[in-house]
A and B are shown apart, each in its own frame.
Chain A
C-alpha cells in the first residue's frame, strides 16, 4: 500500500483524529506535571495549541480532524450528568450554606454574562460575537446549547468558553492572593462560577474541597445561566 493510499484511509476514518486528541492530552498533561502543575502550563491550552499547529502544518481541514475527535466531544454530555455525583457529596455543606451560596451564585452568574457583553459592546464587538460571548463562563456543552438558543455561534462560544476557563485557571491564584481570600470553599466557588470545568479541574489540583465547590458552582451556574440568558439577553440587546 502506498503512503498516499494509507493517508486516504486515515483521513476518512475517525481513528487518527481520536488518537491525536488523546496523544495531545497525554503529552500536555506530562508537560503540565513537569512544570510542577503551574497554571500557565494549562493542559487544555497546550493540547489545543499542539493540535491546531499540527492541522495547520499538514493543511488538514478541521472537519476531518473533528470527525474523529467528536467521540471525545460527545462525552461532555454524560460528564455533565456525572457532575450530579460530586454535587450530591457536598449536600450537607450545601444545606448549611444554602442562602449565601445561592446569593453568590446569582451575583456571580449575572456579573459573568453582563460584564462580558457590556465590555464587548463598549469596544464595538458585533452582535453575533456578543451573543456568542454571553455564556462564556458556563461549561462547554451548556454554553453551546445557550448560544444556539439565543442566536450566537456555538463553535465560537466553545472557543471563548475554553479561553475563559484557561484565563480563570491561570489568574485565580493571583486574584485570591491580592484579595486575601483563603477559604477553599470561597476560592473554589468563585473559580467554578467564572471558569467552569477548566477552573474546576484546576481547583481539584489545589484541594478536594476547593474542587467540590468549584464543581458545585459550575453546575449551578450552568443551570441558572441556561434559564436567565435566553430571558434577559433579548431585552438587553433589543
Chain B
C-alpha cells in the first residue's frame, strides 16, 4: 500500500518522511503544558489509584486501593488549595456519567439468577427494608444533630 512498503498498522507509518505535512489549522492546536490537559488529568487520577493500590496491597490493608487514592487526592487538594481547571473538568465529566460505569457490573445479574431466585424473599425484603431504614435513619440523625448544634450556636 502507498508504494512505500509501510503497513498501515506499523507504527513507523506515523513517522514516515513522505507523509503530507499537517494542515496549518492543526498547528495552532499545539498544546501548552502536557500536564495541563485532559490526558494529564486522567493520568493524575490513575497515578493516585496506582499508589493507593500499591499501599493497600503492600500494607495488606482492608481498604480498596481506589479509596486510598481518593483519600490521598483529597489531602493533596487540601494542601494545594484546589484542583486545576482541567482536573475539575475531567472529574466533572466522569462523575456526570457515573451511571454508565455501573452498567457492566449490573449485567452480572445473569450469573446469579439461580441463587437470587432461590433466595428471592430474604434478598428482596432485606434490600428494601434496609435501604428505606438507612435513608430515613441517616437523614433524621443528621437533622436532629444539626438542630442541636444550631441551638447551641444561638445560645452562645
Seen from chain A, the residues whose Cβ lies within 8 Å of a Cβ on chain B are 21-22, 24-25, 29, 43-44, 47-48, 51-52, 55-56, 62, 65-66, 69-70, 72-73, 75-88, 91, 97, 99-101, 103-105, 107-108, 111-112, 115-117, 119-120, 122-126, 129, 133, 136-137, 140-142, 144-146, 149, 153, 155-156, 158-165, 167-168, 171-172, 175-176, 179, 181, 183, 185-187, 189-191, 193-195, 197-198, 200-201, 204, 215, 217, 219, 222-223, 226-227, 229-231
Contact = CB atoms under 8 A, between A and B. Distances in A.
Nearest to B139: A190
B105 A119 contact: no
Given A85-B83, A160-B127, A48 B106 contact: yes
Contacts of A227: 62-63
B28 to A, nearest CB: 30
B87 to A, nearest CB: 7
B73 A81 contact: yes
A interface, over-half SS: helix
26 contacts: A44-B103, A52-B109, A77-B49, A79-B101, A86-B91, A99-B145, A100-B145, A103-B141, A107-B137, A111-B134, A112-B134, A115-B129, A123-B125, A129-B115, A129-B122, A129-B123, A140-B105, A155-B111, A162-B102, A168-B135, A186-B139, A187-B139, A190-B138, A191-B135, A215-B95, A223-B70
Given A189-B139, A193-B138, A97 B130 contact: no
B27 interface: no
A107 B136 CA distance: 11
Given A99-B149, A197-B102, A222-B70, 13 more contacts: A44-B103, A48-B103, A48-B109, A55-B110, A75-B101, A78-B66, A82-B91, A119-B126, A142-B67, A156-B115, A159-B108, A186-B142, A223-B63
